Structure 1
Amino acid sequence: MRIVLLGPAGAGKGTQAARLAELLGIPPLSTGDMLRAAVLAGTPVGLKAKEAMDRGDLVSDEMVVEIISDRIGKPDARRGFILDGFPRTVVQAGALDALLAGSGLALDAVIEFKVDEAALLARIMGRAREAEAEGMPTRNDDNAEIFRTRFDAYRRQCVPLSAYYADKGYLRVVDGLLPRDDVTRQLLPFLNC
């Protein structure tokens, strides 16, 4: 199965990707993790991405697509994969479609985690408080100002991306604010599980 998970930071995509990966026996692929791995490995695209990041620039769509292409070509992804954090724009979605079509493949599902902004902010701030209480480091994005900036950017990008996948018949929506097990139960029928 080839699955894309859409939703803002804190919506539970990473948690559900890990659960689905175990259930389906396919790797969860986080764009951020792949980008960091390519940089650490010193791959050609990793070196280009590092140059962009060192300048403070965003990594281009072309570089991200190249990293995705490299990663989904690995043996563990031949049976499928779960993308978390990609695509983020309609341009990236089109590039993913073309990449898959070039191998005679297509997506099986695109699942959007719908969340209420205020409730999600409360969840993220609670996560930060719990980490602090346990003496654990907090995530850089676990503060209200960064969250609002990221949520606004997500909202601007998500509306056209959701429409793109809805038009193709791939989009399914789950309530990302339900308890973890309930979210997982919502996902399973979309994946024939």
Structure 2
Amino acid sequence: MRIVLVGPPGAGKGTQAVRLAEKLSVPHISTGDLFRANISQQTELGKLAKSYMDAGNLVPDEVTIAMAKDRMEQPDAVGGFLLDGFPRNVSQAEALDQLLQTEGITLDAVLDLEVPEAEVVKRIAGRRICRNDSSHVFHVTYSPPKQEGVCDVCGGELYQRDDDSEETVRKRLEVYHTQTEPIIDYYKSQGLVRTISALGPVDEVTERALDALKREKAENK
């Protein structure tokens, strides 16, 4: 299957993308991973992207699209893929359609992970990270440490990252509503969107997504 995963920050896209890609036996193509891979391998696209990033500028759509095209043409993506973080706006969605059209293939579904804005703020603003090891992550509500402000694993100090502050989260949501959310309407016009609730345990959200994809497959047989 060829799937695009969308949803606001804090919806759990990264977690669900990895789980769904594994269940569906397709590669998980994340724009973040694409940028890191191209930059670390010093590809021409990576060097180009880095030049924009080093100057403090946004990487142009055409560079992002070229990276995604290159990745989707790899042998493991021939039978399908799950796109996470791309397309990020309508112009990228249109470019993706054109790209797929030239290959004679189409998207099967766009999974929209829905979560109330108040929950997004609660999820992200409640995160606390260990200063000694950033892989030690806690949450003031959902997975609090035994002792407030202290990492259960190593005893390090827990802190809130600047980009996890409520003010920053709300700004990120504004960007999502302005730039990315319009692609949902774009894909709805093509009958591709399957909206699922991203609330509840991770396993339940995964099952909802898989059920939505099964229904999509059955309806289009």
With normalisation by structure 1, the TM-score equals: 0.92
Identity of aligned residues (%): 48
1:154 matched to 2:169? The reply is no
SS in 1 for 2:163: coil
- Quickly say closer, same or farther: Cα 1:117–1:45, change in 2 above 3 A: same
Task: Compute the displacement of 1:133 (Å).
Answer: 4.2
Structure in which a larger fraction of residues adopt helix? 1
Task: Compute the displacement of 1:140 (Å).
Answer: 5.7
Q: Aligned letter for 2:202?
A: R
Whole-Å separation in 2 of the counterparts to 1:19 and 1:155:
26
Residue in 1 that maps onto 2:109: 109
Residue in 2 that maps onto 1:96: 96
Deviations 1:109-163 (A, max 9, x none): 1011111111111111233361764347866632222211111000112342111
Considering only aligned residues, what root-mean-square deviation do their CA atoms show, in Å? 1.9
Task: Compute the displacement of 1:189 (Å).
Answer: 2.2
Structure 2: give runs of 5+ residues left out of the alignment.
Answer: 130-137, 140-148, 216-221
Task: Tell which structure's C-alpha radius of gyration is larger.
Answer: 2
Alignment check: 8 A CA contact 1:109 1:190 kept: no
Q: May I ask how many residue pairs the two structures share in their alignment?
A: 193
Whole-Å separation in 2 of the counterparts to 1:66 and 1:133:
44
Alignment check: 8 A CA contact 2:38 2:46 kept: yes
- Quickly say closer, same or farther: Cα 1:140–1:77, change in 2 above 3 A: farther
Task: Compute the displacement of 1:101 (Å).
Answer: 1.0
Whole-Å separation in 2 of the counterparts to 1:73 and 1:91:
21
With normalisation by structure 2, the TM-score equals: 0.81
Residue in 2 that maps onto 1:16: 16
Whole-Å separation in 2 of the counterparts to 1:133 and 1:17:
31
Residue in 2 that maps onto 1:45: 45
Whole-Å separation in 2 of the counterparts to 1:18 and 1:137:
27
